[in-house]
Amino acid sequence: MTFVRFKLFGKQEYAYSVTGKWNPVTKKVVQKSEYLGVVVDKEKKIFRKPLEEKMKAAREEKEQFIVDFGDSFLLHSFFRNTNFISLLEKSFGQNSGMLFVLICYRLCNRSAMRLAQTWLDGSFIKYLCKDVNLSSQRISDFFSEIGEEKTYRAFFKNYFASVDHSPQSIVLDITALQNQIDMPLTVWGYHDEQIDKQIKLLLAVDKNSKMPLFFRYLPGSIADVSSLKTTINELKMHNIANYCSIMDAGFFSEDNLVMLQKEKINFIIRLPAGRLLYKQLINEQMYDLEQTKHAVRYGKRALYIKKINTHIFQQNVFVYIIQDPERKGRETTKTLLQFVDEKDANQDIDSVLKTRGIMMLISSFDVDTKEILSYYYARQAAEQLFNYAKEDLKILPLRVHKEESLRGYLLYIFATLIAHTQIRKSLTAKYTVEEAMLALRNIKAKIYENQAIITEPTKIQKQILEQLNIIVPNTAGI
C-alpha cells in the first residue's frame, strides 16, 4: 500500500511517498519513504521535485543583476493606461496577473511555452507582477482554470461592456486548427481544399476598429455555412445587433441569407463560383462588363465592376460582378496552356474562359461600386489576425487534451490578439509591434537591493515610447 505523507518544517511543507511492505522474517510491515519534494498544491498533489529544487537554488545563486526592462515596462505602463488590465482583473480575478504576464511573454517572445519561466527570470516584469509561476505544469493547470464556461461568458460580458461603440460592420471568418489531440472536438474535416483532423476557430472582427470582438471553437466536421446562425445568436445575447455582416463564400446559403434578413442584419457575401446562380449571371451579364462605364479605380488597380439590382431567395439584393483585367490575363493564359497541352475535347473552354478574373459579391443594401471592394476586403483584418495567431503566437500545434484547457488556451490567444491590436493602432506605420518590442528590450535594468537603475533609451527607443505616450524613469523601485 502506498500513500503520501506530509511533514511541516518551519513554514515549508514537504511530501513523501510511503510504501508499506510485509517482512516475512519479522512478521511486520516495513515502511519505506521516498522524498517527493516541496508541496506546491496539496489538493492537486503538485510537488516541486528535488531536481527542480536544485535548479531553483541554482537560479537563485545566479540571480541576474541586469534584466530586460523596456519591453515589459512599456506593456505594463501602456495597458495600465487603457482598460485592458482592468478587464482582465474583472474577468479572471486572482488569475489575471498570470494571464497578463503570459500575454507579455507572447508579445515579447515567440518561443515555446516551456521556456516562459526562463524568459520571466530575465525580465523586469517579475518585479512588476510578483509571485507568478510560469512552470510548464502551472501553465497547463492555469489554462484549465480560466477555461471554465462561466469564465468564458464573464470575459465576453465584460469585454463587450468595455467597448465604447457599437460595431457597424462585423467581419466573420473561420480557420481550421489542424491537430492530432484526442478529444471529441478533433474530427476529420474539410477546409481550404484539405481534409485533416482539426478543430475550427471562428472569429468576429470589428470592421472599423480592426479589433477582435468574439470567437467560437467548433468541431472540425462542422461546415462553415452551418456555424452562422449560432454565431449570430451568441452575438445577440451580448446585445450586438444592427450591424452589417461581411463574409466569405463559405457562409453562403439560402437558409443563411433568409435568416440574416429575418434578423434585420445587412450583409455582404461572396457568391461561390460553383453555384448555378453564378453561372447564370455570367451568361446573362457579361456582354457589356468590359466597358468604360463600369471602370473603377481601386488603389493602384483598374477594375470593371457592374452592379445589378435583382432578387435572390425572394429578397431584394445588389449583385456586383467584378473583373480584374490583370488577373483575367494570368488566368486566361494558364487555362489556354492547359487546354492546348491536354486537348480535352469534352471541356467547354469558351465557357470556362468567361469566368477568368471574375468575382461576384452580393449585398443586402446599395453600396457604390467604388466602395464595395473596401467593404469586402475588410475581411483581411480577420485573416491577418489568424495569420498572426498561427505564425507569431504559435497557436499551433495545440497541446491541450481537455475542452476546458482548449477554451482557456483560446481565451489567452484571443486576449493577446486584443493587446496586440491595441498597441498596433497606437504605433505609426514606421514600426510594427514586433519591431517595437525588440528595440525596447535593449533598455536594461541594473538590479540593486531595493532599486533598479534604468539605462538611457536611444533615439529610436524614445520615438517608440513617445508614440505610446510612455515615460521611462531613471530608477524604479523593486
Supply the DSSP string of 389-452, one letter for each residue. HHHTS---S----SHHHHHHHHHHHHHHHHHHHHHHHHS-TT--HHHHHHHHHTSEEEE-SSEE
- Are the C-beta atoms of residues 268 and 246 closer than 8 Å to each other? yes
Residues 6+ apart with CB under 8 A from 57: none
- 179 plus 300 within the same structural domain: yes
Strand 46-48, strand 475-477: pairing: unpaired
- 384 plus 449 within the same structural domain: no
> Any idea what the CATH number is for the domain that residue 232 is in?
3.90.350.10
Nearest to 264 by CA among 364, 166, 165: 364
Decide if 318 is inside a domain. yes
In 3-state terms, the chain is what percent helix, strand and coil (to 5)?
A: 45, 25, 30
Decide if 369 is inside a domain. yes
- 82 plus 53 within the same structural domain: no
- Are the C-beta atoms of residues 421 and 447 closer than 8 Å to each other? no
Decide if 198 is inside a domain. yes
Domain extent, residue 449, equals 66-146+426-477
Decide if 412 is inside a domain. no
Can you give the pLDDT at residue 187?
Answer: 76
Residues 6+ apart with CB under 8 A from 60: none
Can you give the pLDDT at residue 61?
Answer: 43
- 368 plus 469 within the same structural domain: no
Q: Please tell me the number of Cα atoms within 13 Å of 208 on its side-chain side.
A: 9
- Are the C-beta atoms of residues 392 and 110 closer than 8 Å to each other? yes
Cβ neighbourhood burial of 119 (10 Å; 0-12, 13-18, 19+): buried
**Amino acid letter for position 246:** I
Pick the last residue of a domain from 34, 61, 88: 61
Q: State the Cα torsion 110-115-116-120 to the nearest 10°.
A: -110
Decide if 93 is inside a domain. yes
- Are the C-beta atoms of residues 4 and 15 closer than 8 Å to each other? yes
**Alpha-helical runs (H) found in 17-171:** 50-61, 70-80, 84-92, 96-108, 116-121, 125-128, 136-146, 149-162
Pick the last residue of a domain from 399, 415, 435: 399
Decide if 405 is inside a domain. no
- 142 plus 180 within the same structural domain: no
Q: 48-85 in b/e burial notation, b at 16+ Cβ within 10 A? A: beeeeeeeeeeeeeeeeeebbbbbbbbbbbbbeeebbb
pTM, two decimals, is 0.81
Decide if 348 is inside a domain. no
Residues of the chain with pLDDT under 50: 57-63
- 34 plus 73 within the same structural domain: no
- 180 plus 90 within the same structural domain: no
- 57 plus 72 within the same structural domain: no
- 42 plus 162 within the same structural domain: no
β-bridge partners, 189 = 196
- 226 plus 363 within the same structural domain: yes
Nearest to 57 by CA among 41, 35, 38: 38
Can you give the pLDDT at residue 26?
Answer: 67
Can you give the pLDDT at residue 56?
Answer: 54
How many folded domains does the chain comprise? 3
